[in-house]
Structure 1
């Protein structure tokens, strides 16, 4: 009966907290998994007086997989319990090892053992010898078309579960845009190794750390905190693979120099050489150099291991130089598809720009603000279709890199600029006379946690004509977009703060597969502002905003920086 009480308490917990968790989604894997578990539990019928019999920890169970969760794990129902099974496919019958019961939420985490009956979807032979052991990839056993379809479903569920919007407010999610490369696409990997047992004690006692053997160098073993030894990673680019082999040899030779564990950096860097300027050595394969024929150019690629060194990437004809340890998107092959998609959709649909990067003369959108601009990727690649572009980031180092990248791409300084500002005060740094909201599109590309409410309030108060929200976490994106569409209630602790009405409609939603063979999907949402309350005055729109006041009232202008 204790198990039955725990099960019923778990159901009550779900019912009580569902609305709160949906509204305040943190987008964590645990919360996303619980949402899928919660839905399956609603389908489970437990007869009155029936008691669930859960298998002992570490015992083996046979399970029929019914679906994939948004975290990439297989889900199975058995005796009123949901079992979470990694590396599974819908239609599989698998043997799994019971790892942990969550009695409060009525699900069980398991470890994958073997397949008893293969699903029709399990058609691929994994290329990685560590698949089902390494915690990196989930889908190497599934065909790529199936992966893309599943990721479309992840975006759909994210908006259904976390946006708090009615179905009528959410358009059909477009088909997921696939990566041109399904393997060998990652331009950055960070394998690591751990300190030997007793290292802390030795350091505390002033002793030199002793390495009895070379430790495993690689990535986390699934379901554990242990590092497993990995000699190659087939999702890394060829240059990164070369670097991985070289770094493993170096660490083995120099292990006694380390007094603790370490994380290694493997970052691809590219030198572009015009073919008519290339000599014979350019095309020769040299140690540590990968040469690719790119039509009019050769790309000579090497792996950088110093985080302070400069790495170079090319996206179409745009060049980006960054500190090798700094953030930059890790799948270069898909980036041209992302930037072209945004160019085609960030302006009003009737004035889509052509592929030659020139804006339609009839478009009223003339300006772009790139929030969370980082080293300027979106600012630089999108600026040719705008009259003026402003990238904003809190990091001074990122702003310095972005400014340099704009110069490298010969963008005029008077029309493409960057500004260091805290996201919590971002829009107070914008001169609304230079960036009129009715003529401005805002690009948002925040961290996984998404935007906080203060940022959303600023964005609603500023009220740009269009918003392009790029996200590495579609669950927090759905939450934030929900706020932009339906509005934000006042914070209880902020005296005198009123309701901010939603002022946007979702025009389109689409996933991009930045990381094939994994459950990750990047989301791009295009929002348009609802029809403005305003009047025509000598051909100029006077924006009354949501409260009847001019949109530029209350704005703080910081010199001429913006």
Structure 2
């Protein structure tokens, strides 16, 4: 049985040319141009989908959540050069996958001998198509095959264990190569291609698991969490609780409430713009090779996307409209851009019809099921979690799967230590106040801290919006929250939800010095979370570990860890 899983998307670009006089290009709102280049469907990915970090995932200064561009430094001749990109926890994930397949002893022996692909037993020259059987799947969602000589691994996306496939080699790394999936000759037991709902699956880098049943996806994510704590925490497995089954998402498609497709300026438009800087000319300009979408798997080019089945309906409807607008006005752009699509509940109103927005806070009244798509990053979006309402700028961060937020928050509540007469909550990396506001009713007082002044403004706004009067918020580094904090540690819970690179050394040390009674650690990167938990385990006992599926059809997995102070 053969299955080609790299379908070619039909072109949505109008290829007709227009004879025009080139004029000074102008920006076109509401396109959001991001610093540091366009963003894909998910956070910027290595083959493993985790953020870059140094070898052994060492701690880094956490002054900003995102660096716009690679660090530059001057060489001895005064010219600037890029620093070498640090090894990521994702690179370590594939290293551990290779170790497990080849065995530790053989892995070290092969490294010592500097074994290359020529000794694999396969003809792995770039461009060669090889038949192979997939024997495992990595934490990054790609299938793994072992070469005949048992000394080399090939990484093949969109495959599952048991698949016999044809794969085309395109890159070599240490003890492994990367290949494109050409076809599935014989499917493994896990594969069910009838489940695939996206015509771009097999080329788009956004999803890896559409051919798997949802129960199998949840099992794989549980294994990802287990392996992360095995390889990255440095803890004896005997002192860790078993990883619980992954918290499922109520919606597996049409769940994503934010998309950021992007495009590069077509070459002919770039040339026309460059010509204009020299003289006024007249020439034919069409849309050229305009692709609006997301990164193609294993490539540095943009895959043209007309629809995205994991995005909500209002986003897909708006995507059609915005694609048409960009295509018809592409001559006006000076550069490529990232488009923003944000699903929002229709603004709630008071009984008098006053809309709740900005600094004019109105009390939410009756709920509405209507949704709209917002494309201006400065506009206000409206979210609802449990009984709490949230407002913030569309360009700000908020969890992108609203369907799982209620069960997720209920699970967080179930982890809270039974309250005493007085109890306190510290919300580090609080954003616009999601945890502080939803959990404030369970504590005497809550306080949150966040680097972004804009996020803190919205957190304060949301506290007023929800009539939460026992929560306060401050701008600053997460570790600064412990300076002058008058909460008694024995009655305090700290909830942590850091960026992908995890917590700073300084924050960890401040936390260990403060010694709150309990810690809830939420993370979008289970590898850096496991590393940090390994440090906290000096004085804390890990009570619960569980993944949460915020991104069905992909390998991404959130994780929640509950820790209690030893002896408390």
TM-score tier (shorter): 0.7 to 0.9
How many residues of Structure 1 are paired with residues of Structure 2 in the alignment? 460
Report the counterpart of residue 24 of structure 1 in structure 2: 58
Structure 1 residue 165 displacement after superposition: 0.4
Matched residues in 2 for 1:375 and 1:463: separation? 25
Map residues 215-254 of structure 1 onto 2, 5 A cutoff. Answer: 215-254=290-329
Structure 1 residue 62: Cα displacement: 1.0
Instruction: Tell me if structure 2 keeps the 8 A contact 1:76–1:84.
Output: yes
Q: Note the 1:72-221 alignment, pairs <5 A.
A: 72-79=141-148, 80-102=151-173, 105-123=174-192, 124-197=194-267, 206=277, 212-213=286-287, 215-221=290-296
**In the TM superposition, what is the alpha-carbon distance from 1:44 to its structure 2 partner?**
8.8
Compute the displacement of 1:196 (Å). 1.9
Judged with a 3 Å threshold, the aligned counterparts in structure 2 of structure 1 residues 473 and 23 are, in CA distance, closer, same or farther, namely closer
Contact 2:258–2:340 at 8 Å: present in 1 too?
A: yes
Q: Spell out, residue by residue over 1:431-454, the C-alpha distance to the aligned partner (whole angstroms, 9 max, x if none).
A: 2xx311111000000000000111
- What is the CA distance between 1:298 and its match in structure 2? 3.1
Contact 2:269 2:331 in 1 (8 A): no
Q: Distance in 1 between matches of 2:191 and 2:104?
A: 26
Query: Who is 2:4 aligned against?
Result: none
Q: Residue 42 of structure 1 corresponds to which residue in structure 2? A: 103
Q: 1:464 to 1:27 in 2, by over 3 A?
A: farther
- Alignment partner of 1:62 out of 120, 127, 131: 131
Q: Give 1:326's aligned residue.
A: 396
State the match for 2:385 in structure 1.
315
Q: Distance in 2 between matches of 1:327 and 1:377?
A: 11
Consecutive unaligned residues of structure 2, counting only runs of 5 or more, are 1-53, 60-86, 354-365
Task: Show the 5 A alignment for 1:321-470.
Answer: 321-347=391-417, 351=418, 360=419, 363=420, 366-412=423-469, 415-428=470-483, 430-431=484-485, 434-470=486-522
What is the CA-CA distance between 1:273 and the residue it aligns to? 6.2
Question: Aligned to 2:513, what secondary structure does the other structure show?
Answer: helix
Greater shift in the superposed pair: 415-424 or 197-206? 197-206
Q: Which residue of 2 aligns with 1:554?
A: none
Equivalent residues of 1:210, 1:256 under 8 A apart? no
- What is the root-mean-square deviation of aligned Cα atoms in Å? 2.6
Unaligned runs of 5+ in 1: 1-19, 279-295, 352-359, 486-501, 533-562
Q: Is the 8 A contact 2:57 2:528 kept in 1?
A: no
Counterparts of 1:32 and 1:245, CA distance in 2: 38
The SS at the match of 1:336 is: helix
Match of 2:357 in 1: none
Does structure 1 residue 484 correspond to structure 2 residue 536? yes
Q: Deviations over 1:272-328 (max 9, x none)?
A: 669x999xxxxxxxxxxxxxxxxx743221100000011111112211101001111
Counterpart CA distance in 1 for 2:455 and 2:102 is 46
* Distance in 1 between residues matched to 2:449 and 2:270, nearest whole Å: 42
Q: Distance in 2 between matches of 1:305 and 1:176?
A: 33
1:19-45 per-position Cα deviation (integer Å, ceiling 9, x unaligned): x95473876322222221222222796
Partners of 2:482 and 2:270 lie apart in 1 by 47
Does residue 529 of structure 2 align to residue 474 of structure 1?
A: no
Give the 3-state SS of the residue equivalent to 1:180 in structure 2: coil
Higher relative contact order (CA closer than 8 Å, sequence separation 6+) = 2
Q: What residue is the counterpart of 1:514 in the other structure?
A: 550
Q: 1:449 to 1:180 in 2, by over 3 A?
A: same
TM-score (structure 2 length as normaliser):
0.77
Pairs within 5 Å for 1:5-20: none
Looking at structure 2, the residues matched to 411 and 203 of structure 1 have their Cα atoms a distance apart, in angstroms, of: 53
Contact 1:164 1:479 in 2 (8 A): yes
Aligned in 2, Cα 1:427/1:111: closer, same or farther, shift over 3 Å?
Answer: same
* TM-score, with length taken from structure 1: 0.77
Deviation at 1:131, TM superposition (A): 0.3
Distance in 2 (alpha carbons) for counterparts of 1:22 and 1:453: 14
SS in 2 for 1:33: helix
CA distance in 1, matches of 2:273, 2:293: 24
Q: 1:419 to 1:70 in 2, by over 3 A?
A: same
Match of 1:52 among 108, 117, 120: 120
Tell me: CA distance 1:96–1:31, structure 2 relative to 1, closer, same or farther (3 Å). Answer: same
Superposed CA offset, 1:213-272 (max 9, x none):
251111111111111111000000011111111111111222221111110000011126
Kindly indicate whether the alpha-carbon contact (under 8 Å) linking 2:520 and 2:562 is maintained by their aligned counterparts in 1: yes
Q: CA deviation at 1:168?
A: 1.4
TM superposition shift of 1:100 = 1.1
Distance 1:211 1:162 in 2: 53
Aligned to 2:345: 270
Q: 1:198 to 1:249 in 2, by over 3 A?
A: closer
Pairwise CA distance, 1:417: 0.6
Q: CA offset at residue 63 of structure 1? A: 1.2
Cα pair 1:100 1:110 within 8 Å, conserved: yes
User: What is the alpha-carbon distance in structure 1 between the residues aligned to residue 57 and residue 331 of structure 2?
Assistant: 51
When residues 424 and 345 of structure 1 are mapped into structure 2, their CA distance, relative to the original with a 3 A threshold, is closer
- 1:52, distance to aligned residue in structure 2 (A): 3.4
Of stretches 308-317 and 178-187 in structure 1, the one that deviates more from structure 2 is: 308-317
Contact conserved, 2:344 with 2:381, CA < 8 A, in 1?
A: yes
Task: State the secondary structure of the residue aligned to 2:223.
Answer: helix
C-alpha distance 211-217 of structure 1, shift in aligned 2 (>3 A): farther
